Amino acid sequence: MTTPALLPLSGRRIPPLNLGPPSFPHHRATLRLSEKFILLLILSAFITLCFGAFFFLPDSSKHKRFDLGLEDVLIPHVDAGKGAKNPGVFLIHGPDEHRHREEEERLRNKIRADHEKALEEAKEKLRKSREEIRAEIQTEKNKVVQEMKIKENKPLPPVPIPNLVGISGGDPEDSDIREKREKIKEMMKHAWDNYRTYGWGHNELRPIARKGHSPNIFGSSQMGATIVDALDTLYIMGLHAEFLDGQRWIEDNLDFSVNSEVSVFEVNIRFIGGLLAAYYLSGEEIFKIKAVQLAEKLLPAFNTPTGIPWAMVNLKSGVGRNWGWASAGSSILAEFGTLHMEFMHLSYLTGDLIYYKKVMHIRKLLQKMDRPNGLYPNYLNPRTGRWGQYHTSVGGLGDSFYEYLLKAWLMSDKTDHEARKMYDDAIEAIEKHLIKKSRGGLVFIGEWKNGHLEKKMGHLACFAGGMFALGADGSRTDKAGHYLELGAEIARTCHESYDRTALKLGPESFKFDGAVEAVAVRQAEKYYILRPEVIETYWYLWRFTHDPRYRQWGWEAALAIEKYCRVSGGFSGVKDVYSSTPTHDDVQQSFFLAETLKYLYLLFSGDDLLPLDHWVFNTEAHPLPVLHLANTTLSGNPAVR
C-alpha cells in the first residue's frame, strides 16, 4: 500500500526533512517531537529573561514631566533635551528629586503671590469712590483727546489770504439807526446767553423748557450747531468775549467722529460755512482745520453711481442714503446744488482739488441734462442720473441751487462765466413759467407741479427778492434795471405776507387764489419759525437802493419778533401768525442767530461793513471772501480749465 504524499494547501510540494536513511512515516514523527522540545526551551529562557528585567531595570515612573507652557520660566539644573520641540517642556530626572520638589514649591508660591497681588489691586479699585474712579477715567480720556488733537490738528499748507475788507465797523451816523442796531445786538445777546446757560453744546435751544434740542437734520449728534452758526454774527457785532467762549468750546469739544446720520447740505451750510467765515474773520487756524476735518467726513456721501451725493451720511461709517419722502429715492436739487461755495473755499485753503472736483462734477452733469421747459426739477436720482418727479420751485427743495450759481460767479470775481450762464438761463425759464402777478398786483413766484402752476409761494422763496437784486449787475442785455425791479416786487409781496397777519410776522407759505392774496389758508402753513428770508431780501434791496422803506420794514419785523417770539429763556417760533395770542413752538433755531439777527444788524449798519464787492454770503448768511481766481492756479478759473 502506498502512503499519499503530503501536499500543502498551496500546491507546492515541501521537501521532507532529510536527517539520515530514507525516511519512513515513523521516523518523521520522532523528529517533530524534538523540534517542539527545542522551541519550548527557547521560550522558557526568554520568559526568565523578561522576569529578571522586570525586577532589575530602573523604575520609569520615577521620571517626572513638567509642562509649564511658558518659554520664559527658567528652571536650574534641568535637562531640556536636545531637539525638544517645546522649549517649555522640561524633564527632571529622579536623582535630583529633592531639588525639583523645592523648585515646584517655589513656582507654586510665586503663582499664589501673583494671585494675591491681583486680588489686592481689584479690592483697592472697589474701595475708591465713584468720583475718584470717574476722575481717573476722565484723566485717561483727556490724555487720549490731547493725543488725538496733536495728531488731527496738523497744520494745513499756507495760502495767500484774500483781501479782507470791512470785517468790522459799519457804525451808522444817524442816532436812531444806531439805537436800532444796538437793540438788535441786545437781542443777539439774549439769544446767545440763554443758549449758553441752558443749551450749551447741544445743537439748539428749547427756550421755554430751558434745555437743549436737536433737529433731525443733525441726527443724534450734539455738535453745538448754534455755537458754530452764531460765531461770525458775534464777531461782526463786536461780542468778542462770547466769540472766544465759542472758539474754546470748538477747540475742546467739537468732534466729528460721531455715529450720527446728518444732512450733508445742512452740515455744509451751517458748519463748514460757519467755520470758514469764522476763520476768515478772525484768522484763527482752528476754524479752518475743523472745517477741513468735517469736509473729509462728508466726502463718502459722493460715492454714488453718478457722483450726485446722498442727502444724508453717517459721519462715522460714511454710509449714505436719501430721505424716505423724496421722490423715487432722489437727491434734492437745493441740497446737492448748494455745496459749491464752501467746497471751492476748501480746495483753495487746502490746495486739495478733491472738493472742487466733486462740485464741478455735479455742475457738468446738470449742464448736460434735458430740462423740461428749461426748468430744473427738484429731484434727481443719484443711482440712475434721471430726474424724479417734475416739480420745480424757487422755495424749498430748489431755492439755494439758483442762489449758488449766481454766487459761484460772484465769488470767482466774476470769472466763472459758466455759472453765470447757467444762472441766467435758469432765471429766464423761472420768470417765464413761475413768476406771475396777482389780481391785486402782487408779483409772486409759484411752483410748477405735475404740469401746472400752483399759485402758492413759500417764505423760503422770499429770499429770491435779494437774489434778483444781487444778480442785476452783470445780467444779460439791459436787464439790470428789470431784475432790480423784480427783486423790489418780491420784497413788497413778502412784506404784504407779513403785514396781513395779526403778529406782523410771515407765514410759512401763502396763496394767491381768487380773493385770497399773500395769506396762508391751511393751518399747517401758518407758523413762523424765526426764518430770515424776508429780512435778507430787505437788506439786499437796502444795499442796492438805499430806499428807507426797507429799513422800516426790517424794523417792523424786529419789533414783532421782540414782542411775540421773545421769552425769558431766549426766542421761540410761533405756531399761528394769524392768532393774536401766539402759541410758541419752543425752538430757537440756529439760523436765527446766524441769519435773521445778522441781516437785521447789517440793515442798520453802514455799507462799509462786509461790502458786497468783497464778500459773498453763503445761504446761511456766512460771509466768504471773493477769491480772485484769475490769479491762482486753482482750476475754478476757466482760463485754466
- Residues near ligand DMJ (CB under 6 A) are 400, 460, 531-532, 591, 595, 619-620
Characterise 546 by phi-psi region: left (phi > 0), alpha (psi -120 to 50), beta (else).
Answer: left
**Nine cell digits for residue 154:** 496738523
Contact 483, 469 (CB under 8 A): yes
* Closest distance to ligand DMJ from the beta carbon of 455 (Å): 22
Alpha carbon dihedral 186, 191, 197, 200, in 10-degree steps, equals -130
Rounded-to-integer distance, Cα 298 and Cα 86, Å: 53
Q: How far is 336 from 353, CA to CA, in rounded Å?
A: 18
Name the residue whose CB lies closest to ligand DMJ: 619
Distance CA 387, CA 373 (A): 14
Asked if residues 301 and 309 have their Cβ atoms less than 8 Å apart, the reply is: yes
Among 457, 577, 576, 448, which Cα is nearest to 510's?
457
What does the alpha-carbon distance between residue 593 and residue 344 come to, in Å, rounded to a whole number?
A: 25
For ligand DMJ, the closer of residues 500 and 598 by Cβ is: 598
Q: Which is nearer to ligand DMJ, 585 or 620 (CB)?
A: 620
Which lies closer to ligand DMJ via its Cβ, residue 347 or residue 619? 619
Identify the CA nearest to 269 among candidates 619, 574, 630.
Answer: 619
List the alpha helices (DSSP H) in 520-560: 533-545, 548-560
What one-character DSSP code corresponds to residue 2?
A: P
Q: What is the CA radius of gyration of the chain?
A: 43
- Catalytic residue IDs: 266, 399, 508, 533
CB of 349 to ligand DMJ, least distance (A): 23
Q: Does the annotation place 493 within a ligand binding site?
A: no
- Between 288 and 531, CB nearer to ligand DMJ: 531
Between 90 and 376, name the residue whose CB sits nearer to ligand DMJ. 376
Of 415 and 572, nearer to ligand DMJ (C-beta) is 572
Closest approach of ligand DMJ to the CB of residue 179, in Å: 27
Least distance in angstroms from the C-beta of 135 to ligand DMJ: 41
**Rounded least distance, CB 399 to ligand DMJ, Å:** 6
Q: How far is the CB of 587 from ligand DMJ (least distance, A)?
A: 12
Distances (CA, A) of 339 to 146, 247, 312: 32, 24, 14
3-state secondary structure 565-622: HEECCEECCECCCCCCCCCECCCECHHHHHHHHHHHHHHCCCCCCCCCCCEEECCCCC
CA distance 194 to 467: 33
Residue stretches of the annotated binding site for Ca(2+):
619
Residue stretches of the annotated binding site:
619
